[in-house]
Amino acid sequence: MSRLLRTSRLLRPAARPGTLAALAAAGALTLAACGTGSGSGGSAGAPDTLTEIDYYDAAPQNTQLPQILGECAARTGVKIKHQQVPRAQFMPKLLQQASARTLPDLALIDNPDLQQLAATGGLVSLSKAGLSTDGLYPSIVQAGQYQGQTYGIAPGVNGLALYYNTDLFTQAGLKPPTTWDELTADARKLTHGSRHGVAFSAVGTEEGTFQFEPFFWTAGASLKALDSPQAVQALTLWKDLVGSGSASKSVVTWTQADVNDQFMAGNAAMMVNGPWQLPTLNADKKLHFGVVPIPIPGPGAKPVTPLGGEVWTVGHSNAAREAKAVTVVKCLLGHDESATWSKDAGYIPSNQRAAAQLAASDRQLDAFVQEVGTAKARTSELGTGYPKVSQALADAIQAALAGGTSPEKALSQAQSAARN
């Protein structure tokens, strides 16, 4: 998943030019009941009233999105009927609507789900609609493609980096790790009493796979061969961290929000987590921390992190509605809108120039911006086959860390499950 869905609360930033207009325009949004509305698709109604759906259920996204939508709706001359659906119900609902050709005009979906929805034929090709991807990161563009056509584009993305407690590192005379050997040594040295050296999420879902993929891909492994020596090397790293006590055995039950709680409580000296945690971390003035890229196995390697975040899609309806919806998406992808959305929501802009400007103004985001250039779309190797393989990999992580299975055997079993 992208945010993986428990978001931290964000204090509202100072008003920027256009914010008041955005707030006023946001008043035009009609809020539908969460998960209970009819969710009428793009084929119903006049072209000046568009439907939109997403799964955001917590701040800052669920508060910032209506404002950005309202601003772009006002510029386009439309009203937008908004619907928020619980994450577990979201894709089943969209797939059902796709089969009936009643998809909403606009949907903000987790990027790994894009290909599955595009395969139904219910989405408008944004490539054919003339939407330009100039200036966007190529990896982000790829995340929204299916069979050579662009069906979704992210206004911003997120990823994973390594957070570290600067006070603890200073006291121990350590520098933040850049390699796996340094990560292992630092985690061991910083483990003391109830405090573990490092924390990560190894829960048995896409969330755990998402956290493991930076190590998996940076080692040179491929989702097409879950039992490769490179994959074994990555899972061995995690198993050794847990087995030595440098990471808690509870990582198999922790979500990314739980990991953040452990780090803030001083129970972990380092953690793997995303930029969406920054507002909560920064609110604790007693906590001093830094952020660096994910450590690499050795010289010459570069961190390869999974792209998190959602993509905007347009559902098939009629020419007039589709044109209006595409115009709204173009607005949402604009330089200023992308930068504002990313800053408010804890994301990295898809626009490379906006991302560079954000990193320059906020050094805490520099590591995340560095990694976007080498990040990987989760569906890039397997397309619509990704969800099945992701779950097989999550099961292997659980088997190795909680079940006592060797990394070799756990990954061999995962490869067999993925093949069947």
Query: Residue 169 — pLDDT band, cuts 50, 70, 90?
Result: very high
Same domain for 251 and 209: yes
Residue 373 reports pLDDT greater than 80 = yes
Which stretch of 32-41, 96-105, 385-394 has the lowest confidence by average pLDDT? 32-41
For residue 6, tell me if it sits in a domain.
no
For the entire predicted model, the pTM comes to 0.82
pLDDT digits 0-9 by tens, 208-237 = 999 999 999 999 999 999 999 999 999 999
151 or 47, higher pLDDT? 151
pLDDT class for 139, splitting at 50, 70, 90?
confident
Whole-number Å distance between alpha carbons of 253 and 36: 31
- Which pLDDT band, with edges at 50, 70 and 90, does 2 fall under? very low
Residue 10, in any domain of the structure: no
Residues 192 and 150 in one domain: no
Q: How many residues does the chain have?
A: 420
Q: Does 390 lie in the same domain as 242? A: yes
For residue range 119-133, list pLDDT tens digits in order: 999 999 999 999 999
Q: Are 185 and 289 contained in the same domain?
A: yes
Co-location of 288 and 165 in the same domain: yes
Q: Is the pLDDT of residue 118 over 50?
A: yes
In this prediction, residue 337 has a pLDDT band, given cuts at 50, 70 and 90, of confident
Cβ atoms 41, 371 nearer than 8 A: no
pLDDT score at 21:
33
Q: What pLDDT score was predicted for residue 45?
A: 52
The whole-angstrom separation of Cα 93 and Cα 157 is 24
Over pLDDT 90: what percentage of the chain? Answer: 70
Cβ contact 152:144 at 8 Å: yes
pLDDT at 46: 59
Q: Is the pLDDT of residue 44 over 60?
A: no
Judged against a pLDDT cut of 60, whether residue 20 lies above it is answered with no
Structural domain contains residue 104: yes
Residue 11: inside a domain: no
pLDDT digit string, tens, across residues 273-286: 999 899 899 999 99
In a domain, 4, yes or no: no
Assess whether 25 and 108 both reside in one domain. yes
Looking at the fold, whether 174 and 141 belong to one and the same domain comes out as no
Instruction: Note down the domain range covering 300.
Output: 161-305+382-419
CATH number of the domain bearing residue 121: 3.40.190.10
Q: Are residues 182 and 34 in the same domain?
A: no
Same domain? 172 vs 320: no
Residue 183 lies in a domain: yes
Cβ atoms of residues 205 and 252 within 8 Å = no
Residue 172's pLDDT is what? 98
Is 110 a domain residue? yes
Nearest to 411 by CA among 248, 149, 169, 227: 227
- Residue 295 pLDDT more than 90? yes
Is 8 part of any domain? no
Same domain, 409 and 288: yes
Q: Is the peptide bond before 60 cis (omega within 30 degrees of 0)?
A: yes
Per-residue pLDDT of 84-111, as tens digits, reads 999 889 999 999 999 999 999 999 999 9
**Claim to verify: residue 56 and residue 136 sit in the same structural domain:** yes
| C-alpha span between 202 and 58 (Å, rounded) | 23
Mean pLDDT of the chain, nearest integer: 88
Indicate if 230 and 344 belong to the same structural domain.
no
Show which of 372, 390, 410 is a domain's final residue.
Answer: 372
What is the band of 199 on the pLDDT scale with cuts at 50, 70, 90? very high
Domain count, the chain: 2
